[in-house]
Amino acid sequence: MELYARVNILDGRAVRLPHGDVSDAIALDADPINRARGWVEKGADRLHIVDLDAAAYGDYKNRDLIGEIIKAVDVPVQVGGGIRSEAEVSRVLGMGAWRVAIGTLAMIDQVLFWELNRKYPLKIVVSLDVAPDLEIAIKGWTERTGEYLEEALINLSSGGAAGFMISEVGRDALEEPPNIEALQLAVSIVDEPVVAAGGVRDLADIARLTQIEENGKKLAGLVVGREITAGRFTMEEAAASLTASLGSFGPWMRADLEVALTKYRNCEEGPAHADCAAAFVTWLANGGAEIA
């Protein structure tokens, strides 16, 4: 499981959203580049940057700043917020982003979503905001879709999503536990990586997330941010907790490798190809050790 650090950017500053509403934003750092570097120095494997001005107001004034952050760190950077067109997908990836995260677009225009994934394979992650009854919400939690998590995952997976970020509508991440049911369901349905993006209360919650497993698949990542700012634990403690629970696969993540395997099977013909690919993934997941 990889550790993502969240950097929310509003009006050129790094901020915290206590309840998910930009009107309640609390300024954390006037220099988001410095904050991003700090997360990486403390052990973040990847960064998840959210452009709140673009998401809430359609104002893209932070894009150049985000480009500077991408250049300033040596870990993959995923960017979300206001990415609602092919032009914005191309723009953000052109800035050097590892992947882009989209939410509303994936739910309201699945034809465009399929087209984007054909043009930018393995570059588009879907961010799903899940209500307690597992209905999907869009537009900053202001609208319900009438579509539920299982159906959405099946549709978006078939459309070529590179992975899924799961967060919970209305949840206070510092007081309420993660929605284990939603995360477990997601892991059980799709082969693509699933990341818990709603945050955790403490190290015990992290331990619970590492135990989620369905059909040999586990969560691929966890996004943290305000928990650490609030003093619940440190980034170093979170990283150590994940390492202790799951071990290391060197430079590879098992979930990413299994996505590659799925696509390999779809592209190659004959059982021998699939058998060889499966053996290769097992070899990598065991750190290169031979399997008895």
Average pLDDT over residues 32-51: 94
Alpha-carbon span 82 to 105, nearest angstrom: 9
Residue 69 in tokens: 């952050």
Residue 280 is predicted with a pLDDT of 64
Answer yes or no: are the C-beta atoms of 218 and 210 closer than 8 Å.
yes
Of all residues in the chain, what percent carry a pLDDT higher than 90? 58
Give the tens place of pLDDT for each residue, 184-235.
999 999 999 999 999 999 999 999 999 999 888 999 999 999 899 889 999 9
Q: Which residue has the tokens 């003093």?
A: 231
Residue 283 is predicted with a pLDDT of 57
Average pLDDT over residues 76-101: 94
Lowest mean pLDDT of 27-41, 84-98, 186-200, 233-247, name the range: 233-247
Hey, where are the domains in the chain? 2-247, 250-292
Average pLDDT over residues 169-176: 84
Which one is the CATH code of 2-247: 3.20.20.60, 3.40.50.10240, 3.30.565.10, 3.20.20.70? 3.20.20.70
Count of beta carbons in the 10 Å neighbourhood of residue 63: 20
Q: Which residues pair with 50 in a beta bridge?
A: 8, 80
Residue 1 is predicted with a pLDDT of 87
Q: What is the largest CA-CA distance in the chain?
A: 58
Alpha carbon separation from 110 to 27, 158, 182, 201, 250 (Å, rounded): 35, 11, 22, 34, 36
